[in-house]
Structure 1
Amino acid sequence: MPSRAVTDTDDKESHPPSSNRSNEKSILDRIPDPTNLALLGLLSLPSFVSSRFAFLKPFVNFFLFGLWPFATMLVGVVVPSRKESPTEWIESGDRWSSTRFLLSMIPLQINPFVQLQGVQQLLGNLDVYRGHRFSLPDPQSFEQSVEYRLPIEGEWTVVNGSHDKANSHSWSMLAQRYAYDLVQTDAEGRTYTGDGSDPSDYYCWEKPVVAPAAGTVVAASDGHRDSPRTRGWLDLRQRDIRGNYVVIKHAPSEYSVLAHLREGSVAVNEGEQIDQGQRIGLCGHSGNSAEPHLHFHVQDSLSFYRGMGLPVRFSDVEVANGLNGTSTHTERAVLHAGQRVTHGEINE
């Protein structure tokens, strides 16, 4: 699920190169993320049931904080940040793709399925904070119990995601805090061929998606259409922001989520035991997707809404920073936006 238009070893490993502008912070970077303040809007609900609680009605204004991620994206389009983005070299769509993405988000807000999932995510954040006693897993404290490989074959590009807040997939949505969006790019940094108006124009379309580790399939959903539109447009008819997806339990508190799979491609069933590297589906364009891509994250619960995202490291990865960066092999890597990544060592 893209946090922005699709147009995340030691932490010192595999970082994208810095620049003179890379440490500059925008105004938005300096403001604490207020998205979760939208939960205070729930206090207003009794006022709509009984006049006895009319004094709670002003709390309804707190729901506006739920629009903060939308507002930050809008500011980013209207007033480009001076800070250099590690994904600037990736060409996803034309110059209007981000605008189309934002415009399609407006009518999408009346989609009841999307609205319900948004509320469930916000309420799920409360469960996460309570369950972790406000001490959330982070890259320094979390120790994974499973060795994860990249859930793809061949070279892909990290278009969204990082362990740091600035380039996080969705920092305020705790389940997706350490999520990644993956695409494929060509030698010029484009994610598509032709004019990019059809899902099949995109390099990652229908490419294999594999299990990142052995485990048990605990959820598998297929039958969600792939959006017929690309170039930044979101599917206004989506029923689930994940589209077609698979959830795999690898350990008691480690579940991987692989989303936006191609309709009809899900190759595993709930309850099935699968091996690491086994094909579970094909990359698609279903759900909350601006262009074909794979969404991947690991969380500590089966529930998509009440799980906390986990900052996992990947084993046996070939990493290159940017479009022309030299590829290096690492036994355990943290991924970052703007990197080109491949499972296994490349033999040239």
Structure 2
Amino acid sequence: MNRESIFSILKNIAEASAILQIVLIVIERTINPPQDLVNITRILLITGFIFASLTLPWAKNASILFKLLGLIGIVLYILGLFLPKYFFLLAIAILIGVFMILISNSFENTQDVNSKKDSFLLPGPAERAGKIKTIIKYSSSSILSLFNPFQLFQMLYQVIGMIRLSERKDFQQKGKYTLPFTGEWIIVSGGIEKKDSHSWDVINQRYAYDFVIADWENKRHINNGDNLKDYYCYGKNILSPGDGKVIKVRDGIRDYPRPGTMTLDFLARDFRGNFVIIEHENKEYCFMAHFIPSSFEVKEGDFVKRGQIIGKCGNSGHSTEPHLHFHFQDHPNFYLGRGIPIKFSNLKINGEEKIDSYIKKGDSVASLHTLEL
């Protein structure tokens, strides 16, 4: 399942909703059906059109401006729907949706999440549900996240932060860093080039990585994948990539209990889940997320050494399956930092030993010397 498939399905939903709306008007004028039924049907069709059309920029990974416009349209629709006094906001949201449909073919597809890892299978629960049902579930949970005031605030804060930031051009890495785990892990997204990027348009996560553990068949779990403990990386120790000071620890977010369904925990108080931020050098901050709640072995203010256990890999926050989210940025505030590209030291990439190297999506990586450089 790639972005092109999701984009095509969403566009079809939006266009079908618009056509059915016209059909509804004709039916209403000709056979005079019950007005309550007409009103309910109209609301459902408009809602389908709005959320399908306004999420197109995310499906195609268009520029941040289109994503922001889509988010604004969704917020306006929600306000207009629940506040009759501001009903005119619905009309504005619909116009934005029409605009998105008209220009959607010009969106630049900056990333296809499966283009370089076609050999990675969907987790068992999503595979059994099928492509269409999985897309509907993912889209529905994304929409429901907007109704969570904590997550809505965080999303808006992130968008505002990205608007004021630009890529840092003068970055020179100061520290030496090792991979934040032992054993062999797989990079399912991330790299220093646009084609590999985790989220190129999300400035603080431009050079982020998602790490998992997979077997020789590239499966990430045993059994059917319905349980958190089925996943190979779940509960594995996550290590500090270098010496530094813990400046932020966020704990208390539950592990999402439906791994592998490709749905998001829209009830979580923080979409980042349980996370830690470590200051290693001036303007070099490591961010690691989705830890198991209460698994941290450090607290804010602690000084840590390279290879020291930080916590355990989990599935908290917006995590579709257990994994480690990892990136470096140049600011202690998650929302205000620019992502920075990091070379890792003393590692093995696809079986080949490297003194230091960048890594990218699809690579199998392992640390050679966790404690010493």
Q: Normalised by the shorter chain, which TM-score bucket?
A: 0.7 to 0.9
Deviations 1:148-189 (A, max 9, x none): 111111110001111111221111110001000000001110
Whether 1:294 aligns to 2:318 is: no
- Taking only the aligned residue pairs, the percentage that are identical comes to 35
Secondary structure in 2 aligned to 1:158? Answer: strand
The equivalent of 1:85 in structure 2 is 115
CA contact (8 A) 1:114 1:240 kept: yes
Paired residue total? 286
Secondary structure in 2 aligned to 1:101? Answer: helix
The equivalent of 1:234 in structure 2 is 264
- Mapping for residues 259-278 of structure 1, pairs under 5 Å: 259-278=289-308
Shift of residue 290, structure 1, vs aligned partner: 0.4
Relative to structure 1, the CA distance from residue 340 to residue 127 in structure 2 (aligned partners, 3 Å threshold; closer, same or farther) is same
CA contact (8 A) 1:39 1:63 kept: no
- Mapping for residues 184-223 of structure 1, pairs under 5 Å: 184-223=213-252
Structure 1 gap ranges (5+): 5-27, 49-55, 130-135, 321-326
- Mapping for residues 74-223 of structure 1, pairs under 5 Å: 85-93=115-123, 94-95=126-127, 96=130, 98-99=134-135, 100-129=137-166, 136-137=167-168, 141-223=170-252
CA contact (8 A) 1:316 1:344 kept: yes
CA contact (8 A) 1:40 1:59 kept: no
Find 1:330's aligned residue among 354, 361, 368: 354
The equivalent of 1:339 in structure 2 is 363
Shift of residue 92, structure 1, vs aligned partner: 3.5
CA contact (8 A) 1:170 1:177 kept: yes
Shift of residue 104, structure 1, vs aligned partner: 2.3
TM-score in terms of structure 2 length: 0.69
Relative to structure 1, the CA distance from residue 59 to residue 88 in structure 2 (aligned partners, 3 Å threshold; closer, same or farther) is same
The equivalent of 1:318 in structure 2 is 348
Deviations 1:99-127 (A, max 9, x none): 23334222222222221111111110133
Relative to structure 1, the CA distance from residue 84 to residue 249 in structure 2 (aligned partners, 3 Å threshold; closer, same or farther) is closer
Q: Distance in 1 between matches of 2:298 and 2:340?
A: 24
Give the letter for the 1:290 counterpart: T
Shift of residue 272, structure 1, vs aligned partner: 0.6
Q: Distance in 2 between matches of 1:37 and 1:102?
A: 18
Whether 1:308 aligns to 2:315 is: no
Relative to structure 1, the CA distance from residue 314 to residue 62 in structure 2 (aligned partners, 3 Å threshold; closer, same or farther) is farther
Larger Rg, first or second structure (1 or 2): 2
CA contact (8 A) 1:146 1:251 kept: yes
Deviations 1:186-237 (A, max 9, x none): 1110000000001110000000000011000000111110011112122121
The equivalent of 1:18 in structure 2 is none
Q: Distance in 1 between matches of 2:95 and 2:341?
A: 30
Structure 2 gap ranges (5+): 4-56, 80-88
Secondary structure in 2 aligned to 1:156? Answer: strand
Secondary structure in 2 aligned to 1:167? Answer: coil
What's the C-alpha RMSD, in Å, of the aligned pairs? 3.5
CA contact (8 A) 1:90 1:185 kept: no
Which one has the bigger helix percentage?
A: 2
* More contact order relative to length (CA 8 Å, sep ≥ 6): 1
Secondary structure in 1 aligned to 2:165? Answer: helix
